[in-house]
Structure 1
């Protein structure tokens, strides 16, 4: 018996050791490239041209970030990105939650038809050209609302919330209705507060998608005053590449262009890195919804 216990303990230690080694290697594979991107964005053009560093450049410079923020339109683009992310997340989460609340009711008329239509949208779309024609017919070209209205509904998020709402005890809703509460009051004061983990998870995913969205502006926006940060930084990268093409053979100029590109990556990533820890607790709880059955 003791030998079996000792063997089991030895096997557990070997398993733990292998797991630790794999996780350390996996962490190094992820962290080292990220660290290299950050420090390279602060490296001078000559240091990037030499390229003889991984963890620490021998010459530091803020010129890459000066190139990014030199354009006065950057602040306006940042505000557009922030506005469309905040408004887009709030409206998307509320709209999906509202639809999920109705779809979670078994007595909803036409529920199977609505569900079938929603599932079809998860796998099929009209394509880029029909979507562009639809956006144009709705008058959303060169409009801020082109960032918001087409992104209002995701049936995948509706399914997540619908399953979450079904887990809410029916007795709570019945008690509220006995006290005179209507559907809106039950939805706003009972279902939404009890669904914070799921709502936070959807908000995080949608917020990252909204912040990183580039193609919407690329396809439907020509007014530069409505450019989000990603589109503006894309312009900066294109301009820096054009300058590099005009000085072909100059390693310093090509390295400066690379430095500007790395700086844009850092600028667009930092806001998400700041927001993520604030939602991490709810995000983890939302991801574990339904993972444990009592």
Structure 2
């Protein structure tokens, strides 16, 4: 006979407080983004007057029209898609291979390799030596500068290694008895059992590739090879610089031109956020079920 479990007054109070805190947390995340959407779809000049919170006051698509007015916007979008898809797949494969090797307790020098990799997580050579290195190996001003340097992430390797260590070693032993080598064990046993952590690492890499504007701005001179995030950042900077220039040169013609500008730097910034975040929001629901499990199992060791 099933008996209904009755909560004590302390447990009821805890659940109520916990629910209120979670609701407050959700509001602190959702409301600012609703404000960003409202400002993105509002006329920029009107938004400068303030008073816009969650709904546009002067509905307008001028901010998005300004962002998509660039002639090479589609080329930049293709570059972003290329680096996100290819970069994510390649990074997950190479990261998983490195993690599988480092999780072995029998590989000679595994502790030394682990410490050497972890050392690079704490210290780096700096931006100038990094640029010189990329230039010497002919990666600057190349589309592969987005892919090859990001093949490995120490943090992701450690997460995947810890996840792999949770998989029963008896599976590998049984596979070796059946004649499987390390490569076959990795692809046919380890990877199929690692879908949660693979989904998490894929999301981390995809977001990093999609949002990265720094690489295109500093290591690529060819405008046709710059990703969408870099192009949007440059357009935003130009818009803000133009407004400051017209404001400083306070002649009648400049003031009239400034008065006719309905798009502002802040409104472009909000539209840029919407464009950059939307693809990630669309992808996340499909892998959300793996996310929490992958992070928890991959970051904790029994």
**TM-score under structure 2 normalisation?**
0.89
What are the ranges of 5 or more consecutive residues in structure 1 without an aligned counterpart? Answer: none
* Cα contact 1:99–1:158 (8 A) shared by 2: yes
Tell me the distance in 1 between the aligned counterparts of 2:301 and 2:128. Answer: 45
> Against the structure 1 CA distance between its residues 123 and 115, is the aligned structure 2 distance closer, same or farther, given a 3 Å change threshold?
same
* Cα contact 1:42–1:64 (8 A) shared by 2: yes
* Aligned residue in 2 for 1:157: 156
Tell me the distance in 2 between the aligned counterparts of 1:293 and 1:132. Answer: 37
Tell me the distance in 2 between the aligned counterparts of 1:79 and 1:291. Answer: 34
* Aligned residue in 2 for 1:285: 293
* Cα contact 1:244–1:254 (8 A) shared by 2: no
Matches within 5 A, 1:200-211: 200-211=199-210
Deviation at 1:184, TM superposition (A): 1.1
> Against the structure 1 CA distance between its residues 291 and 104, is the aligned structure 2 distance closer, same or farther, given a 3 Å change threshold?
closer
Deviation at 1:279, TM superposition (A): 1.2
Deviation at 1:114, TM superposition (A): 0.8
Matches within 5 A, 1:1-294: 9-248=8-247, 250=258, 253=261, 256-289=264-297
Q: Which runs of 4+ in 1 moved over 4 A?
A: 249-252, 290-294
> Against the structure 1 CA distance between its residues 42 and 206, is the aligned structure 2 distance closer, same or farther, given a 3 Å change threshold?
same
Deviation at 1:208, TM superposition (A): 1.0
Shifted more, 181-190 versus 16-25: the winner is: 16-25
What SS does the aligned partner of 1:288 have?
Answer: helix
Shifted more, 277-286 versus 40-49: the winner is: 40-49
What SS does the aligned partner of 1:157 have?
Answer: helix
Tell me the distance in 2 between the aligned counterparts of 1:143 and 1:132. Answer: 13
Tell me the distance in 1 between the aligned counterparts of 2:23 and 2:167. Answer: 40
Deviation at 1:252, TM superposition (A): 6.7
Deviation at 1:251, TM superposition (A): 6.7
What do the CA deviations read for 1:245-269 (whole angstroms, capped 9, x no partner)?
2432757737633222211111011
RMSD: 2.2
Deviation at 1:227, TM superposition (A): 0.4
